[in-house]
Structure 1
């Protein structure tokens, strides 16, 4: 679906907005707002409908709504005084004031889908593992994410933006991370069992040979899978990974401040301590996005589970696996990450034969939509994944 109005083209299928021929970088919620208004030109779109479409019906402050409206107007060359494109109907809602032409000859877009279709594979010990595929192109498996949960990923606008960008070029396979049954020694996580889950999910999805994008702690499972099944992995992208956890680093002193923030505030929904624990990863925000992610994480994981995840990452080391990786590998890492420093990414790239390192100029551990380097991050990642299979 493509809408044209007021010197703008809103390409919903490709999730791209251009104004006078130039691409405009906007946050996912701003894009969704423009798409909603463009789909109903000349008609009043009530406030409740806007909240339901853009924020999935969640409570949202007036200041947040006003900020998104102002950002939408700026993106299309409008402002609150002239309201040539987006008109405010006081105490009622918004209206697309400009004429809109629509090309609906293309297939339905990911942003228009209200649901995702889950299937199930049988993992270790017969456990059912939910997975989903979307897009059309070379196969790519995502291992690890901010929330590790398909439904939460689908609800988060920041995650939907990533999914949309990936499925525009690839057949993207995502799955639910295996939940730990008991909280034993965090230094003894059964990563080998998780590699069997990856095998089960990829076989169920019909993926024979595929690229892997490993984010955060997903690195530990992805590396083991790439080493154990080298014929199945065509390329490996490591985003925000680390070779050795905090407990192995010589230059780390004092208590784990992130762990302390989790202890202090995780059980209090939306608390400053809980938000602070995630702002350690994303100091450049956007703050509203960080708050949304924290809300999902607090609903998904207890304090004990979050502490186990934190402790597992602190005690992990993959140095012994790095020389065994055989596929082309790209390590993407933030230059100024305060959680896992750039030196950890250099260890990964130096230890994996032929690997390369791409440094992202940000303090966010992984860029979020709205971050200055987000587009560069997505472009660098997709260009690597699109390279010819060297098998």
Structure 2
């Protein structure tokens, strides 16, 4: 495909840039930046999108980005003062400011290349005949991404921009298997299963339906409870285990030695889960994500309220609060990565340290955040993405 702008032609087939008919040598990342801006001429391309597409989401310095932009401007005869071709939108991103013409014969191919990926939901049955909704996206080594029932909805999370950005990052490198546990999302809502060993069996049922024999597991928060049991019950199927925001003992177990106190988070669920824009529901999730960003937290609230009925969510919370995996940690045989926010108030860092102490061949990455899980747009999220991808790909 050829993109014509100013006095330049960018040819992605030959990976070449010409200016006034003469070839201009450019570094690969400089070419990729020009290509990205030309494809989205007239639109702002955010800094995060640039990092994701040019540096595959890795953490890089501001000076490296500045140097790449300066080289791109020089290659097309522009500079930071005029910005006739590449315009900087302060603290937000870049824009191709000049008109870009695309060879008409290449337009159809361009549209196909930019076409939005389609999520195809399929269904499996567990040993009790209950319907489990699952989807596989991407290519590469298989990874089962397991979320607890309170936040799982294949359809809704696919439409959340922050969720999609993370899925796009994963599916560029891995074949990602996601499914909704019983009682949530697109799966069967009748008689939800709160036995975490049975939930581990459900994971195997979904993997079998998807035709995946051995796979890595990435689990978040309360999903660690069935994920650890999965690794113990089916060691021959699990190649690696990645955990973020996990814990060994539920909140009730942790408080057993002291005077029991009411679960204020469960009270927020019971009071506000069924009401849209409920202050109680917002307070519940804000306790998990005090650092925001606020717009992402609001998207998560709406998704969670639609994913799981209030009664199921309350019962689920009782199940995870009263569980413990302390006695089986030593039986895990696969390499294990544990990630945790240093200032996480919901499940403290000490719980992650207990996981590392108990699981052989495990290691801990501490994230500098108070959020229970890192969210898009924060520095901790970039560290998390790099650590997770490196571990899964190793």
Q: Name 2:238's counterpart in structure 1.
A: 233
Q: Name 1:76's counterpart in structure 2.
A: 93
Distance 1:283 1:9 in 2: 28
2:212 is aligned with 1:195? no
Q: Name 1:318's counterpart in structure 2.
A: 325
Change (3 A) 1:260 1:3: same
Distance 2:342 2:146 in 1: 22
Q: Name 1:152's counterpart in structure 2.
A: 156
Distance 1:381 1:101 in 2: 40
Change (3 A) 1:303 1:247: same
Judge conservation of contact 2:153–2:303 (CA < 8 Å) in 1: no
Q: CA deviation at 1:156?
A: 1.3
Distance 1:12 1:356 in 2: 30
Q: Name 2:386's counterpart in structure 1.
A: 379
**Secondary structure of residue in 1 paired with 2:36:** strand
Distance 1:255 1:155 in 2: 35
Q: CA deviation at 1:380?
A: 0.4
**TM-score of the aligned structures, taking structure 1 as reference length:** 0.73
Judge conservation of contact 2:143–2:176 (CA < 8 Å) in 1: yes
Judge conservation of contact 1:131–1:173 (CA < 8 Å) in 2: yes
Change (3 A) 1:271 1:303: same
User: In terms of Rg, which structure is larger?
Assistant: 2
Q: What do residues 21-60 of structure 1 show as CA deviations (whole Å, max 9, x unaligned)?
A: 6199xxxxxxxxxxxxxxxxxxxxxxxxxxxxxxxxxxxx
1:1-391 equivalence runs, <5 A: 2-5=35-38, 15-16=52-53, 22=65, 74-77=91-94, 85=95, 97-100=97-100, 112-113=115-116, 115-144=118-147, 147-179=151-183, 181-182=190-191, 189-250=194-255, 254-387=261-394
Q: CA deviation at 1:14?
A: 8.8
Judge conservation of contact 1:209–1:234 (CA < 8 Å) in 2: yes
Distance 2:384 2:360 in 1: 23
**TM-score of the aligned structures, taking structure 2 as reference length:** 0.73
Q: What do residues 284-308 of structure 1 show as CA deviations (whole Å, max 9, x unaligned)?
A: 1111111111111112222222211
Q: What do residues 109-138 of structure 1 show as CA deviations (whole Å, max 9, x unaligned)?
A: 7x8426311122221212222211111111
Change (3 A) 1:21 1:192: same
- Superposition RMSD in Å: 3.3
Q: CA deviation at 1:346?
A: 0.7
**Secondary structure of residue in 2 paired with 1:22:** helix
**Secondary structure of residue in 1 paired with 2:156:** helix
Distance 1:162 1:208 in 2: 24
Gaps of 5+ in 1: 25-70, 78-84, 86-95
Distance 1:108 1:317 in 2: 49
Distance 2:384 2:312 in 1: 30
